[in-house]
Protein backbone atom coordinates (compact mmCIF):
# COMPACT_ATOMS: atom_id res chain seq x y z
CA UNK A 1 0.00 0.00 0.00
CA UNK A 2 2.90 2.33 0.59
CA UNK A 3 6.40 2.07 -0.83
CA UNK A 4 9.50 2.88 1.20
CA UNK A 5 10.07 5.93 -1.00
CA UNK A 6 6.57 7.16 -0.21
CA UNK A 7 7.16 6.36 3.44
CA UNK A 8 10.05 8.79 3.50
CA UNK A 9 8.67 11.44 1.19
CA UNK A 10 4.96 11.92 1.90
CA UNK A 11 3.87 15.03 3.74
CA UNK A 12 2.39 13.06 6.63
CA UNK A 13 5.66 11.48 7.67
CA UNK A 14 8.25 14.12 8.38
CA UNK A 15 9.42 15.76 11.56
CA UNK A 16 7.96 19.15 10.76
CA UNK A 17 4.52 17.62 10.37
CA UNK A 18 4.86 15.82 13.69
CA UNK A 19 5.70 19.06 15.49
CA UNK A 20 2.74 20.77 13.83
CA UNK A 21 0.28 18.06 14.75
CA UNK A 22 1.49 17.95 18.38
CA UNK A 23 1.03 21.73 18.58
CA UNK A 24 -2.41 21.43 17.01
CA UNK A 25 -3.52 18.94 19.69
CA UNK A 26 -2.18 20.19 23.04
CA UNK A 27 -4.76 18.06 24.86
CA UNK A 28 -3.61 14.81 23.22
CA UNK A 29 -2.58 12.08 25.64
CA UNK A 30 -0.40 8.98 25.24
CA UNK A 31 0.21 5.94 27.40
CA UNK A 32 2.28 2.81 26.87
CA UNK A 33 2.14 -0.89 27.67
CA UNK A 34 5.79 -1.95 27.68
CA UNK A 35 6.26 -5.74 27.56
CA UNK A 36 9.45 -6.94 29.26
CA UNK A 37 11.12 -10.31 29.87
CA UNK A 38 13.30 -11.16 32.88
CA UNK A 39 15.37 -14.16 31.73
CA UNK A 40 15.95 -17.24 33.87
CA UNK A 41 19.17 -16.93 35.82
CA UNK A 42 18.73 -13.17 36.27
CA UNK A 43 19.25 -11.88 39.82
CA UNK A 44 15.57 -10.92 40.01
CA UNK A 45 14.28 -14.19 38.54
CA UNK A 46 13.20 -17.00 40.87
CA UNK A 47 15.97 -19.48 41.55
CA UNK A 48 15.81 -22.50 39.27
CA UNK A 49 14.92 -25.60 41.31
CA UNK A 50 16.57 -27.92 38.79
CA UNK A 51 19.80 -29.56 40.03
CA UNK A 52 23.06 -28.84 38.26
CA UNK A 53 25.67 -31.59 37.83
CA UNK A 54 29.41 -31.05 37.50
CA UNK A 55 30.64 -32.92 34.42
CA UNK A 56 33.98 -33.52 36.15
CA UNK A 57 32.48 -36.61 37.83
CA UNK A 58 31.39 -38.26 34.56
CA UNK A 59 33.53 -41.12 33.26
CA UNK A 60 31.19 -43.81 31.88
CA UNK A 61 29.37 -43.77 28.57
CA UNK A 62 25.98 -44.27 30.24
CA UNK A 63 26.56 -41.22 32.43
CA UNK A 64 27.28 -39.09 29.37
CA UNK A 65 24.28 -40.57 27.54
CA UNK A 66 22.03 -39.64 30.47
CA UNK A 67 22.97 -35.96 30.37
CA UNK A 68 24.04 -35.29 26.76
CA UNK A 69 22.31 -35.73 23.43
CA UNK A 70 24.23 -38.46 21.59
CA UNK A 71 22.99 -39.10 18.05
CA UNK A 72 23.60 -42.35 16.20
CA UNK A 73 26.36 -40.73 14.18
CA UNK A 74 28.01 -39.49 17.40
CA UNK A 75 27.76 -42.94 18.95
CA UNK A 76 29.34 -44.57 15.89
CA UNK A 77 32.24 -42.10 15.95
CA UNK A 78 32.84 -42.67 19.67
CA UNK A 79 32.62 -46.47 19.29
CA UNK A 80 35.03 -46.48 16.34
CA UNK A 81 37.58 -44.36 18.19
CA UNK A 82 37.25 -46.47 21.32
CA UNK A 83 37.62 -49.72 19.39
CA UNK A 84 40.66 -48.43 17.49
CA UNK A 85 42.31 -47.51 20.76
CA UNK A 86 41.36 -50.86 22.31
CA UNK A 87 42.80 -52.86 19.41
CA UNK A 88 46.03 -50.90 19.69
CA UNK A 89 46.18 -51.63 23.43
CA UNK A 90 45.62 -55.34 22.86
CA UNK A 91 48.31 -55.41 20.20
CA UNK A 92 50.77 -53.73 22.55
CA UNK A 93 49.95 -56.25 25.31
CA UNK A 94 50.39 -59.22 23.01
CA UNK A 95 53.70 -57.85 21.72
CA UNK A 96 54.93 -57.63 25.30
CA UNK A 97 53.61 -60.97 26.58
CA UNK A 98 53.56 -63.51 23.73
CA UNK A 99 56.79 -65.24 24.75
CA UNK A 100 55.17 -66.41 27.99
CA UNK A 101 52.60 -68.22 25.89
CA UNK A 102 54.88 -70.16 23.52
CA UNK A 103 54.03 -73.86 23.48
CA UNK A 104 56.23 -76.71 22.25
CA UNK A 105 53.46 -77.61 19.84
CA UNK A 106 53.89 -74.16 18.24
CA UNK A 107 57.36 -75.10 16.94
CA UNK A 108 57.52 -74.28 13.27
CA UNK A 109 60.16 -73.75 10.69
CA UNK A 110 58.67 -70.31 10.26
CA UNK A 111 59.22 -68.28 13.48
CA UNK A 112 56.70 -65.65 12.42
CA UNK A 113 53.89 -68.19 12.40
CA UNK A 114 55.10 -69.44 15.78
CA UNK A 115 54.83 -65.88 17.16
CA UNK A 116 51.36 -65.29 15.68
CA UNK A 117 49.98 -68.43 17.35
CA UNK A 118 51.54 -67.42 20.67
CA UNK A 119 49.98 -63.93 20.45
CA UNK A 120 46.58 -65.42 19.72
CA UNK A 121 46.93 -67.64 22.80
CA UNK A 122 48.11 -64.69 24.86
CA UNK A 123 45.08 -62.56 23.94
CA UNK A 124 42.80 -65.21 25.44
CA UNK A 125 44.26 -64.24 28.79
CA UNK A 126 43.87 -60.49 28.15
CA UNK A 127 41.69 -58.64 30.68
CA UNK A 128 39.02 -56.76 28.64
CA UNK A 129 38.53 -54.43 31.58
CA UNK A 130 41.84 -52.83 30.62
CA UNK A 131 40.24 -51.37 27.50
CA UNK A 132 36.97 -50.17 29.07
CA UNK A 133 35.35 -46.90 28.03
CA UNK A 134 36.48 -45.37 31.32
CA UNK A 135 40.11 -46.29 30.76
CA UNK A 136 40.02 -45.00 27.16
CA UNK A 137 38.31 -41.79 28.33
CA UNK A 138 40.86 -41.20 31.12
CA UNK A 139 43.84 -41.85 28.85
CA UNK A 140 42.74 -39.98 25.74
CA UNK A 141 41.03 -36.91 27.21
CA UNK A 142 42.21 -34.44 29.81
CA UNK A 143 38.69 -34.01 31.18
CA UNK A 144 35.00 -34.49 30.38
CA UNK A 145 34.69 -31.07 28.76
CA UNK A 146 37.38 -31.98 26.21
CA UNK A 147 35.51 -35.22 25.46
CA UNK A 148 32.11 -33.56 24.80
CA UNK A 149 33.79 -30.78 22.82
CA UNK A 150 35.66 -33.28 20.64
CA UNK A 151 32.40 -34.89 19.53
CA UNK A 152 30.25 -31.75 19.55
CA UNK A 153 27.90 -33.10 22.24
CA UNK A 154 25.33 -30.74 23.74
CA UNK A 155 23.65 -31.18 27.15
CA UNK A 156 20.05 -32.36 26.94
CA UNK A 157 18.77 -29.70 29.34
CA UNK A 158 21.31 -26.93 28.81
CA UNK A 159 24.47 -25.68 30.45
CA UNK A 160 24.00 -24.48 34.00
CA UNK A 161 27.54 -23.14 33.90
CA UNK A 162 29.94 -23.56 30.97
CA UNK A 163 33.55 -23.07 32.04
CA UNK A 164 35.85 -25.73 30.62
CA UNK A 165 36.59 -28.60 33.02
CA UNK A 166 34.52 -26.89 35.74
CA UNK A 167 31.35 -26.85 33.61
CA UNK A 168 27.96 -27.91 34.98
CA UNK A 169 24.84 -29.13 33.19
CA UNK A 170 21.20 -29.39 34.28
CA UNK A 171 20.07 -32.90 35.20
CA UNK A 172 16.51 -32.30 34.01
CA UNK A 173 14.54 -29.76 32.02
CA UNK A 174 14.35 -26.36 33.77
CA UNK A 175 10.93 -25.88 35.29
CA UNK A 176 8.52 -23.25 33.99
CA UNK A 177 7.68 -20.25 36.16
CA UNK A 178 4.18 -20.08 34.70
CA UNK A 179 4.94 -16.60 33.36
CA UNK A 180 4.62 -14.69 36.62
CA UNK A 181 6.35 -14.20 39.94
CA UNK A 182 5.09 -11.54 42.32
CA UNK A 183 8.41 -11.08 44.14
CA UNK A 184 10.25 -10.50 40.86
CA UNK A 185 7.66 -7.92 39.85
CA UNK A 186 7.89 -6.15 43.23
CA UNK A 187 11.66 -5.87 42.96
CA UNK A 188 11.37 -4.59 39.39
CA UNK A 189 8.73 -2.06 40.48
CA UNK A 190 11.00 -0.81 43.25
CA UNK A 191 13.89 -0.12 40.86
CA UNK A 192 11.57 1.48 38.29
CA UNK A 193 9.92 3.69 40.92
CA UNK A 194 13.31 5.08 41.87
CA UNK A 195 14.13 5.63 38.20
CA UNK A 196 10.92 7.45 37.32
CA UNK A 197 10.49 9.14 40.69
CA UNK A 198 6.92 7.90 40.52
CA UNK A 199 5.10 5.26 42.55
CA UNK A 200 4.89 1.94 40.67
CA UNK A 201 2.46 -0.69 41.99
CA UNK A 202 2.19 -4.42 41.17
CA UNK A 203 -1.07 -6.14 40.31
CA UNK A 204 -1.33 -9.93 40.04
CA UNK A 205 -4.03 -9.80 37.37
CA UNK A 206 -3.67 -8.45 33.81
CA UNK A 207 -4.83 -4.87 33.42
CA UNK A 208 -4.63 -1.82 31.20
CA UNK A 209 -4.12 1.09 33.55
CA UNK A 210 -5.40 2.58 36.77
CA UNK A 211 -5.93 6.27 36.23
CA UNK A 212 -2.74 8.17 37.00
CA UNK A 213 -0.78 5.16 38.31
CA UNK A 214 2.19 3.35 36.86
CA UNK A 215 1.58 -0.39 37.27
CA UNK A 216 3.27 -3.72 36.54
CA UNK A 217 0.97 -6.59 35.55
CA UNK A 218 1.48 -10.18 34.31
CA UNK A 219 1.41 -11.11 30.62
CA UNK A 220 1.17 -14.83 29.83
CA UNK A 221 2.12 -14.35 26.15
CA UNK A 222 5.73 -13.39 26.98
CA UNK A 223 8.52 -15.99 26.87
CA UNK A 224 12.21 -16.10 25.94
CA UNK A 225 11.41 -15.39 22.27
CA UNK A 226 11.69 -19.05 21.29
CA UNK A 227 8.65 -20.43 23.09
CA UNK A 228 10.42 -21.38 26.33
CA UNK A 229 9.17 -20.04 29.64
CA UNK A 230 12.18 -20.10 31.97
CA UNK A 231 11.88 -16.50 33.13
CA UNK A 232 9.24 -13.95 34.06
CA UNK A 233 7.25 -11.74 31.68
CA UNK A 234 5.32 -8.61 32.59
CA UNK A 235 3.96 -5.32 31.26
CA UNK A 236 4.81 -1.87 32.54
CA UNK A 237 1.63 0.17 32.02
CA UNK A 238 1.97 3.94 32.09
CA UNK A 239 -0.95 6.34 32.72
CA UNK A 240 -2.24 8.66 29.98
CA UNK A 241 -0.02 11.75 29.96
CA UNK A 242 0.74 14.68 27.65
CA UNK A 243 2.72 13.23 24.77
CA UNK A 244 6.04 14.92 25.52
CA UNK A 245 5.87 13.78 29.17
CA UNK A 246 4.82 10.27 28.18
CA UNK A 247 7.78 9.94 25.80
CA UNK A 248 10.23 11.15 28.46
CA UNK A 249 8.96 8.46 30.83
CA UNK A 250 9.17 5.86 28.06
CA UNK A 251 12.80 6.79 27.41
CA UNK A 252 13.54 6.27 31.12
CA UNK A 253 11.81 2.87 31.01
CA UNK A 254 13.89 1.85 27.97
CA UNK A 255 17.08 2.84 29.80
CA UNK A 256 15.87 0.96 32.90
CA UNK A 257 15.43 -2.19 30.76
CA UNK A 258 19.05 -1.94 29.59
CA UNK A 259 20.52 -1.03 32.97
CA UNK A 260 18.86 -4.03 34.63
CA UNK A 261 19.71 -6.53 31.86
CA UNK A 262 16.06 -7.22 31.12
CA UNK A 263 15.09 -8.18 27.57
CA UNK A 264 12.70 -7.45 24.75
CA UNK A 265 12.36 -10.23 22.20
CA UNK A 266 10.11 -11.72 19.53
CA UNK A 267 7.37 -12.39 22.09
CA UNK A 268 7.26 -8.83 23.46
CA UNK A 269 5.34 -5.87 22.10
CA UNK A 270 4.91 -2.18 22.76
CA UNK A 271 1.31 -0.97 22.78
CA UNK A 272 0.89 2.74 22.21
CA UNK A 273 -2.37 4.28 23.43
CA UNK A 274 -3.29 7.68 21.99
CA UNK A 275 -6.31 9.93 22.48
CA UNK A 276 -7.53 13.35 21.52
CA UNK A 277 -10.76 15.02 22.70
CA UNK A 278 -13.93 13.60 21.06
CA UNK A 279 -11.94 11.05 19.02
CA UNK A 280 -14.83 8.57 19.21
CA UNK A 281 -17.18 10.99 17.47
CA UNK A 282 -14.77 12.32 14.85
CA UNK A 283 -12.63 9.40 13.68
CA UNK A 284 -12.96 7.94 10.17
CA UNK A 285 -11.46 4.50 10.86
CA UNK A 286 -10.91 3.65 7.19
CA UNK A 287 -9.06 6.91 6.59
CA UNK A 288 -6.91 6.14 9.64
CA UNK A 289 -5.93 2.77 8.18
CA UNK A 290 -5.14 4.25 4.77
CA UNK A 291 -2.74 6.81 6.28
CA UNK A 292 -1.12 4.81 9.12
CA UNK A 293 0.78 2.34 6.86
CA UNK A 294 0.43 -0.51 9.34
CA UNK A 295 2.06 -3.13 7.10
CA UNK A 296 5.21 -1.06 6.72
CA UNK A 297 5.46 -0.50 10.48
CA UNK A 298 4.88 -4.19 11.23
CA UNK A 299 7.56 -5.12 8.72
CA UNK A 300 9.97 -2.58 10.22
CA UNK A 301 9.62 -4.23 13.63
CA UNK A 302 9.72 -7.77 12.20
CA UNK A 303 6.09 -8.41 13.23
CA UNK A 304 4.39 -8.80 9.86
CA UNK A 305 2.65 -12.14 10.23
CA UNK A 306 2.42 -11.85 14.04
CA UNK A 307 -0.96 -13.20 15.18
CA UNK A 308 -1.14 -10.63 18.01
CA UNK A 309 -0.94 -7.65 15.65
CA UNK A 310 -2.58 -8.26 12.29
CA UNK A 311 -2.50 -5.50 9.66
CA UNK A 312 -5.90 -3.85 9.12
CA UNK A 313 -4.79 -3.19 5.56
CA UNK A 314 -5.61 -6.86 4.88
CA UNK A 315 -9.08 -6.31 6.30
CA UNK A 316 -9.60 -3.38 3.93
CA UNK A 317 -8.36 -5.52 1.02
CA UNK A 318 -10.95 -8.20 1.83
CA UNK A 319 -13.63 -5.50 1.93
CA UNK A 320 -12.47 -4.19 -1.45
CA UNK A 321 -12.66 -7.70 -2.92
CA UNK A 322 -16.34 -7.84 -1.99
CA UNK A 323 -17.18 -4.30 -3.11
CA UNK A 324 -16.02 -4.30 -6.72
CA UNK A 325 -15.19 -0.72 -7.68
CA UNK A 326 -14.93 2.70 -6.10
CA UNK A 327 -17.94 5.02 -6.58
CA UNK A 328 -17.40 8.28 -8.45
CA UNK A 329 -19.95 10.40 -6.53
CA UNK A 330 -19.44 11.83 -3.03
CA UNK A 331 -22.49 10.11 -1.50
CA UNK A 332 -21.53 6.73 -2.95
CA UNK A 333 -17.99 7.14 -1.60
CA UNK A 334 -19.34 7.96 1.86
CA UNK A 335 -21.62 4.92 1.81
CA UNK A 336 -18.70 2.73 0.71
CA UNK A 337 -16.39 3.89 3.49
CA UNK A 338 -19.13 3.57 6.11
CA UNK A 339 -19.85 0.02 4.94
CA UNK A 340 -16.18 -1.01 5.11
CA UNK A 341 -15.90 0.41 8.63
CA UNK A 342 -19.10 -1.18 9.94
CA UNK A 343 -18.84 -4.58 8.24
CA UNK A 344 -15.09 -5.12 8.41
CA UNK A 345 -12.93 -2.77 10.51
CA UNK A 346 -15.24 -2.68 13.54
CA UNK A 347 -15.20 -6.50 13.58
CA UNK A 348 -11.43 -6.89 13.32
CA UNK A 349 -11.01 -7.50 17.07
CA UNK A 350 -8.23 -6.55 19.49
CA UNK A 351 -5.39 -8.45 17.80
CA UNK A 352 -4.96 -5.90 15.03
CA UNK A 353 -2.25 -3.33 14.34
CA UNK A 354 -4.69 -0.79 15.79
CA UNK A 355 -7.37 -1.95 18.21
CA UNK A 356 -10.48 0.00 17.24
CA UNK A 357 -12.47 -1.56 20.08
CA UNK A 358 -10.77 0.93 22.40
CA UNK A 359 -12.60 3.82 20.72
CA UNK A 360 -15.52 3.20 23.07
CA UNK A 361 -13.15 4.17 25.89
CA UNK A 362 -12.00 7.31 24.07
CA UNK A 363 -8.59 6.22 22.75
CA UNK A 364 -6.83 4.01 20.17
CA UNK A 365 -4.44 1.17 21.00
CA UNK A 366 -1.68 0.77 18.39
CA UNK A 367 -0.10 -2.71 18.60
CA UNK A 368 2.32 -2.80 15.66
CA UNK A 369 5.55 -1.99 17.52
CA UNK A 370 7.63 -4.58 19.35
CA UNK A 371 9.97 -7.47 18.66
CA UNK A 372 13.58 -8.11 19.57
CA UNK A 373 15.29 -5.06 21.10
CA UNK A 374 12.39 -2.77 20.22
CA UNK A 375 13.47 -0.61 23.16
CA UNK A 376 16.89 0.06 21.61
CA UNK A 377 16.08 3.41 19.95
CA UNK A 378 13.57 5.82 21.48
CA UNK A 379 13.65 8.03 18.37
CA UNK A 380 12.00 5.26 16.35
CA UNK A 381 9.11 5.20 18.81
CA UNK A 382 8.93 9.00 18.87
CA UNK A 383 8.58 9.01 15.09
CA UNK A 384 5.95 6.30 15.33
CA UNK A 385 3.86 8.30 17.79
CA UNK A 386 4.18 11.30 15.48
CA UNK A 387 3.15 9.22 12.46
CA UNK A 388 0.06 7.90 14.19
CA UNK A 389 -0.89 11.22 15.72
CA UNK A 390 -0.76 12.65 12.22
CA UNK A 391 -2.92 9.80 10.90
CA UNK A 392 -5.44 10.43 13.71
CA UNK A 393 -5.45 14.16 12.89
CA UNK A 394 -6.21 13.45 9.22
CA UNK A 395 -8.81 10.80 10.06
CA UNK A 396 -10.68 13.19 12.38
CA UNK A 397 -10.95 15.93 9.74
CA UNK A 398 -13.21 14.99 6.76
CA UNK A 399 -11.66 17.67 4.55
CA UNK A 400 -7.97 17.07 5.35
CA UNK A 401 -6.08 15.50 2.44
CA UNK A 402 -9.35 14.27 0.96
CA UNK A 403 -7.90 13.92 -2.54
CA UNK A 404 -5.02 11.85 -1.19
CA UNK A 405 -7.50 9.69 0.71
CA UNK A 406 -9.53 8.96 -2.41
CA UNK A 407 -6.33 8.36 -4.37
CA UNK A 408 -5.06 5.82 -1.83
CA UNK A 409 -8.35 3.94 -1.77
CA UNK A 410 -8.59 4.00 -5.58
CA UNK A 411 -5.07 2.60 -5.78
CA UNK A 412 -6.13 -0.22 -3.51
CA UNK A 413 -9.10 -1.03 -5.76
CA UNK A 414 -6.78 -0.95 -8.76
CA UNK A 415 -4.23 -3.19 -7.05
CA UNK A 416 -6.96 -5.67 -6.23
CA UNK A 417 -7.51 -6.43 -9.92
CA UNK A 418 -5.45 -9.60 -10.52
CA UNK A 419 -3.05 -9.86 -13.46
CA UNK A 420 -4.67 -11.35 -16.56
CA UNK A 421 -2.52 -10.18 -19.46
CA UNK A 422 -0.73 -12.91 -21.43
CA UNK A 423 2.51 -11.06 -20.77
CA UNK A 424 2.03 -11.82 -17.07
CA UNK A 425 2.67 -15.48 -17.83
CA UNK A 426 6.26 -14.59 -18.78
CA UNK A 427 6.95 -13.16 -15.33
CA UNK A 428 8.52 -15.14 -12.50
CA UNK A 429 5.90 -16.17 -9.98
CA UNK A 430 7.42 -13.88 -7.31
CA UNK A 431 7.33 -10.87 -9.64
CA UNK A 432 3.73 -11.79 -10.40
CA UNK A 433 2.83 -11.90 -6.72
CA UNK A 434 4.53 -8.53 -6.13
CA UNK A 435 1.85 -7.01 -8.33
CA UNK A 436 -0.60 -7.38 -5.44
CA UNK A 437 1.66 -7.27 -2.37
CA UNK A 438 5.38 -6.67 -2.14
CA UNK A 439 5.47 -7.24 1.63
CA UNK A 440 3.64 -10.58 1.59
CA UNK A 441 5.74 -11.72 -1.37
CA UNK A 442 8.96 -10.94 0.49
CA UNK A 443 7.71 -12.93 3.47
CA UNK A 444 6.84 -15.87 1.21
CA UNK A 445 10.31 -15.69 -0.34
CA UNK A 446 12.29 -15.42 2.88
CA UNK A 447 10.30 -17.09 5.67
CA UNK A 448 9.31 -20.68 6.47
CA UNK A 449 6.46 -22.56 8.11
CA UNK A 450 3.24 -20.89 9.25
CA UNK A 451 4.45 -17.37 8.41
CA UNK A 452 5.11 -18.34 4.78
CA UNK A 453 1.78 -20.20 4.57
CA UNK A 454 -0.01 -17.10 5.86
CA UNK A 455 1.64 -14.98 3.18
CA UNK A 456 0.65 -17.43 0.44
CA UNK A 457 -2.98 -17.40 1.60
CA UNK A 458 -3.03 -13.59 1.59
CA UNK A 459 -1.56 -13.48 -1.91
CA UNK A 460 -3.64 -16.32 -3.33
CA UNK A 461 -6.95 -14.57 -2.68
CA UNK A 462 -6.07 -12.18 -5.54
CA UNK A 463 -5.46 -14.90 -8.13
CA UNK A 464 -8.65 -16.96 -8.14
CA UNK A 465 -9.19 -16.37 -11.88
CA UNK A 466 -5.56 -16.38 -12.99
CA UNK A 467 -4.29 -19.19 -15.21
CA UNK A 468 -0.55 -19.56 -14.60
CA UNK A 469 2.07 -20.84 -17.02
CA UNK A 470 3.70 -24.22 -16.48
CA UNK A 471 6.90 -22.44 -15.35
CA UNK A 472 4.99 -20.39 -12.75
CA UNK A 473 3.32 -23.56 -11.41
CA UNK A 474 6.73 -25.22 -11.09
CA UNK A 475 8.23 -22.16 -9.39
CA UNK A 476 5.44 -21.97 -6.79
CA UNK A 477 5.82 -25.64 -5.90
CA UNK A 478 9.56 -25.12 -5.44
CA UNK A 479 8.91 -22.07 -3.21
CA UNK A 480 6.52 -24.11 -1.06
CA UNK A 481 9.04 -26.95 -0.74
CA UNK A 482 11.77 -24.53 0.32
CA UNK A 483 9.42 -22.92 2.86
CA UNK A 484 8.35 -26.33 4.20
CA UNK A 485 4.63 -25.69 3.69
CA UNK A 486 1.79 -27.81 2.33
CA UNK A 487 -1.74 -27.12 1.15
CA UNK A 488 -2.97 -28.12 4.64
CA UNK A 489 -0.76 -25.39 6.17
CA UNK A 490 -2.36 -22.79 3.90
CA UNK A 491 -5.86 -24.01 4.82
CA UNK A 492 -5.01 -23.72 8.51
CA UNK A 493 -3.89 -20.10 8.13
CA UNK A 494 -7.14 -19.19 6.39
CA UNK A 495 -9.12 -20.76 9.23
CA UNK A 496 -7.03 -19.49 12.16
CA UNK A 497 -6.29 -15.96 10.95
CA UNK A 498 -9.18 -15.22 8.58
CA UNK A 499 -6.74 -14.34 5.80
CA UNK A 500 -8.33 -14.29 2.37
CA UNK A 501 -11.58 -15.83 1.20
CA UNK A 502 -11.32 -19.62 1.48
CA UNK A 503 -13.06 -20.29 -1.85
CA UNK A 504 -10.85 -17.76 -3.65
CA UNK A 505 -7.70 -19.25 -2.18
CA UNK A 506 -8.90 -22.76 -3.08
CA UNK A 507 -9.36 -21.68 -6.71
CA UNK A 508 -5.87 -20.19 -6.70
CA UNK A 509 -4.38 -23.43 -5.36
CA UNK A 510 -6.28 -25.47 -7.95
CA UNK A 511 -5.13 -23.20 -10.77
CA UNK A 512 -1.53 -23.59 -9.63
CA UNK A 513 -2.09 -27.36 -9.27
CA UNK A 514 -1.09 -27.40 -5.62
CA UNK A 515 -2.17 -30.74 -4.16
Are 459 and 435 in the same domain? yes
Query: Do 391 and 325 belong together in one domain?
Result: yes
Task: Tell me what pLDDT residue 11 has.
Answer: 43
* Domain end (from 391, 415, 439): 415
Task: Say whether both 441 and 351 belong to one domain.
Answer: no
Is the same domain home to 446 and 317?
A: no
Indicate if 86 and 108 belong to the same structural domain.
yes
199 and 291 housed in the same domain: yes
Instruction: List per-block mean pLDDT (blocks of 10 residues) for the chain, which spans 515 residues.
Output: 52 68 91 92 73 85 90 90 93 87 66 80 88 92 90 85 81 64 92 95 81 89 80 92 95 96 93 92 87 72 63 69 63 74 73 84 89 92 90 90 82 58 77 79 85 85 84 90 88 66 82 83
Residue pair 367/269 in contact by the 8 Å Cβ criterion: yes
83 with 38, same domain: the answer is no
Residue 362: give the domain boundaries.
4-45+178-415
Final residue before a domain boundary, out of 122, 143, 170: 170
Please answer whether residues 247 and 270 qualify as being in contact, where contact means their C-beta atoms are separated by less than 8 angstroms: no
In this structure, the answer to whether residues 407 and 438 fall within a common structural domain is: no
What does the alpha-carbon distance between residue 271 and residue 269 come to, in Å, rounded to a whole number?
A: 6
- The predicted pLDDT at position 437 comes to 75
Q: What is the CATH number of the domain that holds 183?
A: 3.30.590
Q: What was the pLDDT predicted at 467?
A: 86
* Nearest alpha carbon to residue 236 among 263, 211, 201: 201
**What is the number of domains present in the chain?**
3
Report the distance separating Cα 219 and Cα 222, nearest Å.
Answer: 6
> Domain boundary at 170, 191, 210, which?
170
Instruction: Give the DSSP letter string of 235-301.
Output: EEEPPPEEHHHHHHHHHHHHHHHHHTT-B--TT-EEEEEEE-TTHHHH--HHHHHHHH-HHHHHHHT
pLDDT for 307 equals 59
- Between CA 239 and CA 31 the distance in angstroms is 5
Same domain, yes or no: 358 and 404: yes
Instruction: Kindly state whether residues 232 and 347 are assigned to the same domain.
Output: yes
The pLDDT value given to residue 57: 86
**482 and 393: one domain?**
no
**pLDDT value for 241:** 95
CA-wise closest residue to 340 among 387, 257, 284? 284
Q: Are residues 9 and 96 in the same domain?
A: no
**Phi, psi (degrees; rounded to nearest 5) at 38:** -100, 110
Amino acid sequence: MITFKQFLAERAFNQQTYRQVFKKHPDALAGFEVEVYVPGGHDLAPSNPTDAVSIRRLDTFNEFRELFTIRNSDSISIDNDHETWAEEKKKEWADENWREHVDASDYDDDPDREMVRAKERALKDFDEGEVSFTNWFNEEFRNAYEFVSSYGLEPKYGWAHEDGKNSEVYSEAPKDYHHWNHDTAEQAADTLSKRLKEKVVVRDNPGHGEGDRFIIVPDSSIDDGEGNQHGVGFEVVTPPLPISTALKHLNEIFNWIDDNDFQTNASTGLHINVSIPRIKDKLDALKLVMFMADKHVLEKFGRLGNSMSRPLTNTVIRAVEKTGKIPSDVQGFKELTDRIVQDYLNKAGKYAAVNLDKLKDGYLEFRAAGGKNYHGDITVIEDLVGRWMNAIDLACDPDADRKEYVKKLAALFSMNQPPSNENDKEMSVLDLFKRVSQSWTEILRSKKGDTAARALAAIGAHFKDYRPSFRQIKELKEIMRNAGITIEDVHKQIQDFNIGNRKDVELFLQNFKVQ
